[in-house]
Amino acid sequence: MFGTGSYPTARATAVAGAALVAMLGLTLVACGGGDDAPDHEAHGDDFEATSLATPTHLVATDTDWGGVQIAVGGLPLEKVKGLRIAGVDVLPTILASADSGAATIIAAEDSVVFLIAKAPAQLGAFNGAVVELETSDGVVADPVEFSMSSGFSDAAAAGDMHALASSKPKCTKLTWQKPTALPKVSGCGYNGTGCARSDRAHTGIDYGGSGDVVAVADGSVVGVEPMNSRDHGMGSNVIVMHVHNCAVVYSTYNHLASIDGAVKKNATIKRGARIGKSGGSGYGKADYWGRHLHFEVKTLGVSGNPRGVGKKNKTCQQDPKNAMASTCWGYVDPKLGATAYGYSNPGDFF
C-alpha cells in the first residue's frame, strides 16, 4: 500500500546499464449505493473453471524528472525476455552493464518498472515510438506507443535542462483522490464483514447512490468490460494501471451504470477524469445490485482476486480448486483478510 500504508516490499534488483544502444545512456542502480445500500451477496457464484493467463500490461511514458518510465504489470522480471523501443531490443544492453548510472530496474513479485534517464529536450525523439514486450512464457501484452505527458517539473518549466539531464532516475509519487463524492456505505469498507455476511470480508470500499465516478490518479486504462453474463457480478467495470512510487498498482471501478466513451483500453487517463456513472450492474443485468460503486485497489489488473486463497495461489480465474467462487469477486475469507489475496486498502492512498 502507499500513503500511510506499506506496499509489499519490492525486490529491488540492481542490474546494470551502459548506453541504451548509444541512444539512451543507461545505468541501473538499486531502488530500493444511497444513504443505505442493501446487503450485498457475495460475487462470483456463477464461477466457471477456466484456465486464463494472468493479464500482462505495458505502459511507457515520460517523467517529471526528465526520463522514460516503462512499467510491466502482471509479470516478474525473470519472465521479461525482450523490451523493444522502435524495434530495438534494449533489454540485453540494460542487463549486461552495471556501472553507468542512468537507469534503474525495480522488480516486485508481480511487476517490474524500468526507469531511464533522458533530458526532456531529447525525449521528443521517442514520442510515438512503439514499445513492445517479449516474455519467456509467451504471455502477450499489447504493444503501446511512448507518450509524452502535458508537462515537466519546475526545473523543466524554467528551461533548466541541465539540472534534469544530470538527475538520477527516481520514483514518482502520484497524487490520489477519492473515486466519487458519494458517501461510503456503512459496513462496506475494506475488510468489512457487515456488507454481506460475517464469514466474508469485503475487498474494497462501497460508495452508495448514483453519481459521477472519476479516476483516482494518473494512469492507463487496461480493462473495459461492459456487463455480461460472465462478469461474475462485477457488472460494467473499468481497470486502471498506475505506477506509484516505483510500484505497479491497479484501481478498479465496478457495477457502473455507464462508461464514458473516451475510456478505452490502452488510453491514458488523468486524475479526476470521468470514468462513468455508478450503478447496480452485475451478471449481465443493469440493476442487479442497489446503486453503488464498488472500488478496489489491487496488485493485478483482474476483476477478481489477484491471488487465490493465500499468497501462494494463483488468481481465481486460474485456480478454481483453491479459490471458492463465493470468495473470488468482491469478498474473501476474513481469517486471512483482503491483503493476503493481493488487495490494498484504498484509504491508504487518498
Which class for 284: exposed (0-12), middle (13-18), buried (19 or more C-beta within 10 A)?
A: middle
Look up the CATH architecture of domain 201-348: Distorted Sandwich (2.70)
Q: pLDDT under 70 in the chain at which residues?
A: 1-53, 94-102, 118-125, 149-168, 308-327
Round to whole Å and give the CA distance between 78 and 129: 25
* Res 280: pLDDT: 97
Asked whether the beta carbons of 60 and 130 are under 8 A apart, the reply is no
Residue 321: how many CB atoms within 10 A of its CB?
A: 9
Q: CB under 8 Å to 256, separation ≥6 — which residues? A: 213, 235, 236, 237, 238, 275, 276, 277, 278, 279, 281, 293
Q: Give the residue ranges of DSSP H helices in 180-298.
A: none
List, in sequence order, every residue forming a beta bridge with 131; answer none if it has no partner: 85, 144
* Res 348: pLDDT: 95
Cα angle 220, 85, 171; round to 5: 50
Cα angle 145, 149, 153; round to 5: 145
Residues of the chain with CATH 2.60.40: 11-32+55-165
11-32+55-165 CATH fold: Immunoglobulin-like (2.60.40)
Round to whole Å and give the CA distance between 161 and 83: 27
* Res 298: pLDDT: 95
Per-residue cell: 309: 486463497
Residues of the chain with CATH 2.70.70.10: 201-348
